[in-house]
Structure 1
Amino acid sequence: MTYLAESNRYESMKYNRSGRSGLRLPAISLGLWHNFGGIDTYENGRAMVRRAFDLGITHFDLANNYGPPPGSAEENFGKILEQDLAPYRDEIIISTKAGYYMWPGPYGEWGSKKYLISSLDQSLKRMGLDYVDIFYHHRPDPNTPLEETMSALDLVVRQGKALYVGISNYRPEEAKEAIGILRRLGTPCLIHQPSYSMLNRWVEDGLLDVLEEEGVGSIAFSPLHKGILTDRYLNGIPSDSRAAGPSVFLRPEELTDSVLGKVRELNAIAQERGQKLSQMALAWVLRGGRVTSALIGASKVSQIEDAVGAVANLEFSGEELERIERILQG
């Protein structure tokens, strides 16, 4: 059956301007880091992408190495585009990245112009695209001059392979320097993608200030802190959870009694607000307008529906924020 997007898909989603650019991103974006690769069930990934778009999520975030195996998330997303979303390409923001290990030899990772240009060419081929909307450098490279890396980002925009560029995992000083180089080259930095959650607040130590001063947007990955900020672990570690298995993504030692105690206290506030803990955690990351979009992962459609439900209540009272702060600092 031919996919037809919901006609009311833009009515309940909130869209925020990315820095001082003309581009607006949905408050909730969908990342394809996990659960969309070659080892996963294709039809489940397809259903999640379609439902996300039906709910007003216009931004889909990938990287060259997403899978596993590396590259397979882009390949699968390319199939979904071809099967379902091709008529809506101009309504969709597609981002990809390069920076982590992708292929053997000296040109398969980090930040050289050789690697970045080659990687984006491969990504476009896997997804069947002429261009991506956003191309990121995925992590700083301590051994390549920043000017070389940023000139590669500038080049892909001039070549028409990307409309905008961004950086990810850059510390405040590195970000400020990268943003300055891109501005001088004439290709402004659109956005920075850092990790950020109630349990991981490093961006508050300077990075958000830099982005605000420079007029650059931000999109927070892992806003649910590997799933800890959900109702999944309120009663301990379920036997079928990531933490119970051999996952390197979430280790059991991260779920200390102290952390789980905070999660339960936060959950009580969320219930008072008429939200799930995951919804409140997303709203908290977006509070005050300093973060453009919260980037979620998902393994099933219902998780996407829950995340989008956060948009219905993004406001916090001063008292709520104080209570949350006391819990997090406790």
Structure 2
Amino acid sequence: MSNDAYTPSAARYDHTPYRRAGRSGVLLPPISLGFWQNFGEDRDETTLRRIMQRAFDLGVTHFDLANNYGPPPGAAESHVGRILHRDFRAHRDELIISTKAGYHMWDGPYGDGGSRKYLLSSLDQSLERLGLEYVDIFYHHREDPETPLQETMGALADAVHSGRALYVGISNYSPEATRGAHQLLAERGVPLLIHQPSYSMFNRHVENGLLETVDELGVGIAAFSPLQQGLLTNRYMSGVPAGSRAHGSNGSLTERQVKDKDYQTRVRGLSEIAHERGQSLAQMALAWALRHPQVTTALVGASSIPQLEQNVQTMQNPDFTAEELERIDEFAIDGTAR
């Protein structure tokens, strides 16, 4: 990694319309930087460092991780930890750093799920990789029907009471489980800060009760995969480029998804509306997800600085007319390209 010193932009807070997470005291940028699938050991750490620096210069104060982000699992936290130590030690209090546990992380019966054993052990490992004394938000990454919700929420509450996390969140929870988590945490004197569901024009499940639930409870939303892993960009409108997620057998997308006729029709229709708005398709998709006041931030990955800059520019045109939303609904169909 380069040894040149990093000095943040003095204007980094001048143009970001920070948004409140529910009814908490926490403000987040509308676009946050996520590290799922793009900060693994196959990436050049100097490039990763430049992306994090540029994000902070643009007012992106929220970096989102999980224990198993990589590849391999843990690699993203290790990369970010080294970069935080190198460039951000003097700015730790200007950052919101989150991590999660809930999916498979290590072998044996204690490396997955929602048990107290797994969650607190994983948090300790994450803190070691990140080189931090605490994270700002610690999430349970998924519902675990095998573990009592009371045990899982008790572990999250103890993460706060022990000083290892300032706030807690949940991810991939149903509206009903969200209510239960909120109540159990409140009984332990810990607020549920935020919920992290997948939400995009092609994955609209949060509109079936979750938006109303978090609004009632005063919980924020951090939407992940708002670009549907690249499907809501212009990247796949002319086929499958080499090196993309849909290229090869190990990608998170498949060529079948990209070549699906319904997908191609819908993505082209959405792209035309975005062009009329003076936006890229990605920018319109992000603005569309953020149009709900319950959605505090949208998490985006970035493989390059230009990609990051384009996404952050989304908020230059965040509003939609009723006619635009009606036209978008013709193409923004839940379940597209699954």
Query: TM bucket by the smaller chain?
Result: over 0.9
Is 1:93 matched with 2:101?
A: no
Is 1:320 matched with 2:324?
A: yes
Query: What is aligned with 1:207?
Result: 210
Residue 16 of structure 1 aligns with an amino acid whose one-letter code is R
Residue 160 of structure 1 aligns with an amino acid whose one-letter code is G
- Which of 292, 306, 309 matches 1:305? 309
Residue 6 of structure 1 aligns with an amino acid whose one-letter code is S
Query: What is aligned with 1:174?
Result: 177
**Whole-angstrom CA distance in 2 between matches of 1:308 and 1:161:** 30
Contact map agreement 1:270 1:280 (CA 8 A) in 2 = yes
Deviation at 1:44, TM superposition (A): 1.3
Deviation at 1:127, TM superposition (A): 0.8
**Whole-angstrom CA distance in 2 between matches of 1:97 and 1:232:** 29
**Whole-angstrom CA distance in 2 between matches of 1:329 and 1:300:** 29
**Whole-angstrom CA distance in 2 between matches of 1:64 and 1:241:** 24
Contact map agreement 1:39 1:69 (CA 8 A) in 2 = no
Residue 282 of structure 1 aligns with an amino acid whose one-letter code is L
Query: What is aligned with 1:69?
Result: 72
Query: What is aligned with 2:137?
Result: 134
**Whole-angstrom CA distance in 2 between matches of 1:223 and 1:329:** 14
Give per-residue Cα distances to partners, 1:153-173, cap 9 Å, x unaligned.
000100000000000011111
Contact map agreement 1:33 1:62 (CA 8 A) in 2 = yes
Deviation at 1:325, TM superposition (A): 1.0
Q: Secondary structure at the match of 1:36?
A: coil
Q: Map residues 1-330 of structure 1 onto 2, 5 A cutoff.
A: 1-255=4-258, 256-329=260-333
Residue 49 of structure 1 aligns with an amino acid whose one-letter code is M
Residue 323 of structure 2 aligns with an amino acid whose one-letter code is E
Give per-residue Cα distances to partners, 1:24-51, cap 9 Å, x unaligned.
1100001011221222211111111111
**Whole-angstrom CA distance in 1 between matches of 2:90 and 2:276:** 42
**Whole-angstrom CA distance in 1 between matches of 2:76 and 2:243:** 24
**Whole-angstrom CA distance in 2 between matches of 1:329 and 1:114:** 40
What TM-score does the superposition give when structure 1 sets the normalisation length?
Answer: 0.98
**Whole-angstrom CA distance in 2 between matches of 1:192 and 1:327:** 26
Residue 283 of structure 2 aligns with an amino acid whose one-letter code is Q
Contact map agreement 2:201 2:333 (CA 8 A) in 1 = no
**Whole-angstrom CA distance in 2 between matches of 1:165 and 1:31:** 17
Segments of 5+ residues of structure 2 without an aligned counterpart are none
Q: 1:220 to 1:235 in 2, by over 3 A?
A: same
Percent identity reads 57
**Whole-angstrom CA distance in 2 between matches of 1:203 and 1:150:** 22
Deviation at 1:288, TM superposition (A): 3.1
Deviation at 1:145, TM superposition (A): 0.4
Deviation at 1:180, TM superposition (A): 1.2
Deviation at 1:329, TM superposition (A): 4.8
Deviation at 1:239, TM superposition (A): 3.6
Q: Secondary structure at the match of 1:289?
A: coil
Deviation at 1:236, TM superposition (A): 2.6
Instruction: Give runs of ≥4 in structure 1 deviating > 3 Å.
Output: none
Contact map agreement 2:22 2:294 (CA 8 A) in 1 = no
Segments of 5+ residues of structure 1 without an aligned counterpart are none
Residue 99 of structure 1 aligns with an amino acid whose one-letter code is G
Equivalent pairs, count: 330
RMSD: 1.2
Q: Secondary structure at the match of 1:244?
A: coil
**Whole-angstrom CA distance in 1 between matches of 2:166 and 2:266:** 42
Residue 273 of structure 2 aligns with an amino acid whose one-letter code is I
Q: 1:240 to 1:36 in 2, by over 3 A?
A: closer
**Whole-angstrom CA distance in 2 between matches of 1:329 and 1:207:** 18
